């Protein structure tokens, strides 16, 4: 496994609409391993492939920050979202030390493929739902600073 370089805002790859994955091979598995390791190393709770320079529809999330809660999502699509929305603070490994409040659905259902190419369905609420929505935005070239209110420096 390897720690990957995390791209920062301003890098063109972060603005790309990412391509779907069609090969569930060892290259993909290595990328998933490296993305998780990079996320944990940086104390993040989510990381999307464009953040490590690859414009493909892959993301990892773990709101427990310790491998137990790791979810690997390939070609994820939100198929259902609650009308109930909530504004809360977000940050991003690609926008260090900047935080802002983003309005997100409180509950979502996402369909995705796992590393073996098996289709999965997950319903998530609160922080997990927020994290998934944030990561899926990355796959469409959207950063949280594009939608956040009250952008600020520092973790207050
Ligand atoms: Co992010």
- 87 has a pLDDT exceeding 80: yes
**Rounded to an integer, what distance in angstroms lies between the CA atom of residue 64 and that of residue 54?**
25
Centroid of chain to Cα 54: 13
**Rounded to an integer, what distance in angstroms lies between the CA atom of residue 4 and that of residue 81?**
32
Q: Distance, CA 49 to ligand 1 centroid (Å)?
A: 10
Residue of 37, 72, 87, 135 marked active site: 135
In the residue annotation, 135 being an active-site residue is answered as: yes
Percent of the chain with pLDDT over 90: 94
DSSP state of 53: T
CB neighbourhood size of 25 (10 A) = 11
pLDDT of residue 154: 82
If phi > 0 it is left, if psi is from -120 to 50 it is alpha, else beta; for residue 154 that is left
Q: Distance, CA 70 to ligand 1 centroid (Å)?
A: 16
DSSP state of 20: P
- Mean pLDDT, to the nearest integer, of 100-129? 98
Q: Distance, CA 125 to ligand 1 centroid (Å)?
A: 18
Question: Could you tell me which residues come within 8 angstroms of residue 3 by beta carbon, excluding any fewer than 6 positions away?
Answer: 34, 37, 38, 41
- 124 has a pLDDT exceeding 80: yes
Across 67-136, the runs of DSSP E, i.e. the strands, are 71-81, 85-90, 98-105, 107-113, 119-125
pLDDT band at 65 (very low <50, low <70, confident <90, very high): low
pLDDT of residue 135: 98
pLDDT band at 156 (very low <50, low <70, confident <90, very high): low
pLDDT band at 1 (very low <50, low <70, confident <90, very high): confident
- Mean pLDDT, to the nearest integer, of 78-107? 97
């Amino acid at each position: 496994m390897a720690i990957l370089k995390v791209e920062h805002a301003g890098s063109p790859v972060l603005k790309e609409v990412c391509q779907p994955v069609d090969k569930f091979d060892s290259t993909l598995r290595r990328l998933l391993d490296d993305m998780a390791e990079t996320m944990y190393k940086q104390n993040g709770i989510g990381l999307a492939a464009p953040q490590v320079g690859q414009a493909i529809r892959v993301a990892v999330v773990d709101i427990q920050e310790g491998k137990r809660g790791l979810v690997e999502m390939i070609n994820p699509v939100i198929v259902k979202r609650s009308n109930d929305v909530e504004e809360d603070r977000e940050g991003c490994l690609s926008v260090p030390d900047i935080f802002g409040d983003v309005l997100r659905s409180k509950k979502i259902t996402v369909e995705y493929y796992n590393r073996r190419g098996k289709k999965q369905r997950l319903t998530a609420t609160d922080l997990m739902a927020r994290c998934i929505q944030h990561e899926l935005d990355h796959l469409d070239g959207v950063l949280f600073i594009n939608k956040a209110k009250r952008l600020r420096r520092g973790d207050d």
